[in-house]
Amino acid sequence: MDETAELSCPDNDMMNPALTLATQVSAILVLSHVFQIFLKPLGQPAPLAQILAGFVLGPSGLSRSQSIHIFFFQDFAVDFYESMALYCRISIMFLIGLEMDIPFLMRNLRPASIIACGGCLMCTIFASTISFFVYEETGSRGSRFTLALVITVILANTASPIVFRLAADLKFATSDIGRLAISSSLIGDMYAVFILVIISGEKNKRTVNGWALMAFFSLLLLVGIIIFTSYLVNWLNRRNRNEKNLQAVEVMLLCSVILVAAMTLETMGFSSIIACFLMGSTFPRGGKSARTLLAILTYTVHNFIFPIYFGYTGFKADTRYINELKRLAIVLMVIVLSIGGKIFGTLAACYYLKTPLNEGVLLAFLMNMKGHVDILTLTTAMQNRVINSAVFYNLMVSAVVISSILSAALIGVLVRREKDMIGIKHIPMEYHSPDKELKLLACVHSSHPVNSMVRLIVSLRGSDNVPISPYLMHLVELPEQTKRSSSLYEQEEDELSEDEDDGKNDAVEINETVDMFIEETKMMIHQAKTVAPFTTMYQDVCHFAGDKRTSFIVLPFHKHQRIDGKFENGKEGIRITNQKVLRHAKCSVAILVDRGHTTTGTQAAGSESLQQIATLFFGGPDDREALGFSKRLSTHHHTSLTVIRFLPTSAKDPNGGIDVSHKEDDVFVTIQDQDTEVAEADNSALANFYHRYVTSGKVRFVEKYVDNGVQTGMILRDMAETYSMFVVGKGGRGDSLLTTGISDWEECPELGVVGDFLASSEFDTSGSVLVVQQHR
């Protein structure tokens, strides 16, 4: 094969570049969907199908045919391909920054850096040992040092877009290992981009001072764009508050600012990859600007740009150059050293961090995903003529693509095998430390309970340094005769249509309330929306909670309070949805009976008034879950929590059924006439809670002695106006004398005996009620 020969089309046919590009994109999209049909049942991710589609379409597959090769590989089409790849990179990196969990990255910067540096260091060592051999055997010309840098990028780079898409496609992007992998891949990208900048500088032969000056101006430009974008976004958010999304002209304005900034950095000789990520990660999250961009970019990138970008990576591989045993050995050596360097480096880092071996192996293969900065580095080096060997270029591209295909397939197998490790691990609130991250899903059907839901979320934040990831989902009824459609703000384009009437007015009010709280509390509340019939709405709620790995779901009560304080029945479908979520959710669930005085509200930001909250404890798993939930409430500096334990009157008698002993301020209670296992769990939970929160003065602890449910009801009525919210378990305590007869009838069984009494018209109070059910 003549390596210098190039096939081309007549230069006067100006329609060929656009036609070629459109045909290539269409073919990649169709082929990737075909491959996905066969690979998805095997548990393989979408990026594998997309890279394979490009690989099959390129010179390694169908383009071996001379007529197809002539059509796709025209001289003047190369610039179109590279421009397309650049626009794809800008969109992808900005979206990754926009969706990135920055608080998680900052909390885990040390382990993410160690994992990234472990793999990069090992691969850099391997690259330095083989660069001389590869230089000689591929007939390369030019700087040996530059070629060594290129090989370093090829071995050390981790393609963060592919890791991001893999984690999302395999449903572990929200897990700790998924977020850690994405964070580590971004740090690895920074290392590769730094080397790319050095390689790019070889063309202009810049001095150190000249390079430093350009870097300073680039940094100044980036900071200026970030500040300008923040002011622009805040101004756009304040305009037309009655609209839930930005207008098309406003969206184009924002995109133009980002695009111009990225292109300016590119012309200055610096890659815009990290800059676009930083612009996305610093983009103001609250308001309709972020919601609109997130909706547009998520739909476009996931459905079009990702398949095109990954397909183009596979499209560039030309295995026809692997026509000698020596060249095959070079490709295999690069693949083995790339995978081996990532495995050894990542496992060494995981051993240092005391990360389990199975997680370390999965992280190692995720860190080996290629096809991002490495392809860009090879292309840049060839275009700048710092590398002149077509053999080297094509062998390295082939090695990158084959390595990515192998790693993606292995990751699919590992994730399927280790699904218990990265699957949903529900930790009940009973055992959930208030210092750990809490993922919470709050649901609303209209704008009425939003205020209370958001205020409850703010209260659960506790102290300012405790991580929390809250989600607010708007549930919109879709009539049964209409085709069901589930959509999320961040995923569906039809959410941008102003012609949609389903929940439109409620959506504007919900957005305004959430935006106000984000601005006041500086805490991000992620929004989502589902449109479905009431009969199947619970599935969307449960699936969303599972995908986000939430520990808790809060549902609104199906009744709403009127102006006169009485409850009015809402739609029966809301009640059915609540009952089904209680049965099917894979985490703890609570129902909020909103009376308009739920916890701290906006007082959290300014007022010094304390909100009085009472947690009622009768015993059983649900009450223990309510007690665990109250731990988070007790850590908020504007909340005063009182735990009220109800005991039978016989507990006062030392010869009765309950023996109470206190030792070093701990509470130990042995209940002899109740179920031993439940009693021991109750005693343990109360003793731990008492020792940590009551003895330190954070929480008040009160015991009430009653003979029956009637006396319990009287005590609850007496304290009705003392507290702004009552937290109680749904049930799980069996037929308890403490609650039997508390009310004449039970109207809402989904609230349990005590919760139903607190939410009934018999209980005249202005305090809200939160009824908690532990997942079993």
In whole angstroms, give the CA distance from residue 413 to residue 166.
Answer: 12
Would you say residue 667 has pLDDT above 60?
no
Q: What pLDDT, on the 0 to 100 scale, is given for residue 12?
A: 45
Angle between helices 288-300 and 248-267 (to 10 degrees): 70
In whole angstroms, give the CA distance from residue 536 to residue 544.
Answer: 13
Q: Which of 699, 603, 570, 601 is nearest to 645 (CA)?
A: 699
Q: What pLDDT, on the 0 to 100 scale, is given for residue 493?
A: 42
Segment 356-382 mean pLDDT = 91
In whole angstroms, give the CA distance from residue 78 to residue 692.
Answer: 66
Pairing outcome for strands 666-671 and 658-663 = antiparallel
Q: 421-426 long-range contacts, Cβ below 8 Å, gap at least 24?
A: 421/177, 421/356, 421/358, 421/359, 422/172, 422/175, 422/177, 422/178, 422/362, 424/546, 424/549, 424/586, 424/587, 425/549, 426/551, 426/586, 426/587, 426/588, 426/775
Would you say residue 215 has pLDDT above 80?
yes
Q: 607: helix, coil or strand?
A: coil
When the candidates are 3.40.30.10, 3.40.50.300, 3.40.50.720, 3.40.50.12370, the CATH number that belongs to 429-479+505-600+609-651+674-773 is: 3.40.50.12370
Q: What pLDDT, on the 0 to 100 scale, is given for residue 408?
A: 92
Q: 733: helix, coil or strand?
A: coil
**Residue 531, both tokens:** 């449109």
**Residue 205, both tokens:** 């032969």
Is 555:579 a contact under the CB 8 Å cutoff?
Answer: no
In whole angstroms, give the CA distance from residue 23 to residue 567.
Answer: 61
In whole angstroms, give the CA distance from residue 454 to residue 519.
Answer: 13
Q: Where are the alpha helices (DSSP H) in 432-474?
A: 450-460
Q: What pLDDT, on the 0 to 100 scale, is given for residue 709?
A: 82
CB count, 10 Å around CB of 384?
Answer: 16
Q: What pLDDT, on the 0 to 100 scale, is given for residue 592?
A: 93
DSSP notation for 289-338: HHHHHHHHHHHHIIIIIHHHHHHHHHHT--GGG--SHHHHHHHHHHHHHH
342 to each of 123, 346, 396, 397, how far by Cα in Å?
7, 6, 17, 18
CB count, 10 Å around CB of 722?
Answer: 11
pTM of the model: 0.85
* Per-residue pLDDT tens digits for 189-211: 999 999 998 887 765 556 667 77
CB count, 10 Å around CB of 566?
Answer: 9
CB count, 10 Å around CB of 316?
Answer: 23
CB count, 10 Å around CB of 565?
Answer: 12
Is 290:245 a contact under the CB 8 Å cutoff?
Answer: no
Higher pLDDT, 152 or 479: 152
33-37, 289-293, 414-418, 760-764: lowest mean pLDDT where? 760-764
* Per-residue pLDDT tens digits for 501-513: 455 678 888 888 8
423-432, 572-581, 751-760: lowest mean pLDDT where? 423-432
Would you say residue 535 has pLDDT above 60?
yes
Q: What pLDDT, on the 0 to 100 scale, is given for residue 490?
A: 42
Which pLDDT band holds residue 597 (cuts at 50, 70, 90)? low
Would you say residue 663 has pLDDT above 80?
no
In whole angstroms, give the CA distance from residue 9 to residue 75.
Answer: 8
What is the residue whose two structure tokens read 């992998």? 181
H or E segment and range at residue 66: helix 66-72
Q: Which of 316, 394, 442 is nearest to 56 (CA)?
A: 316
In whole angstroms, give the CA distance from residue 525 to residue 285.
Answer: 9
Q: What pLDDT, on the 0 to 100 scale, is given for residue 82?
A: 82
Q: Summarize the chain as % helix, strand, coil (round to 5).
A: 60, 10, 30
Higher pLDDT, 546 or 764: 546
Sorted by where each begins, the domain ranges of the chain are 77-422, 429-479+505-600+609-651+674-773
Q: Is the dihedral of CA 169, 173, 175, 176 positive or negative?
A: positive
Q: Which CATH class is domain 77-422?
A: mainly alpha
Which pLDDT band holds residue 486 (cuts at 50, 70, 90)? very low
Q: What pLDDT, on the 0 to 100 scale, is given for residue 108?
A: 93
Higher pLDDT, 418 or 481: 418
**Residue 227, both tokens:** 């500040």
DSSP notation for 503-514: THHHHHHHHHHH
Would you say residue 340 has pLDDT above 90?
yes
Q: What pLDDT, on the 0 to 100 scale, is given for residue 484?
A: 46
Higher pLDDT, 529 or 567: 529
Segment 550-568 mean pLDDT = 82
Q: Which of 517, 552, 558 is nearest to 432 (CA)?
A: 552
Q: What pLDDT, on the 0 to 100 scale, is given for residue 385?
A: 79
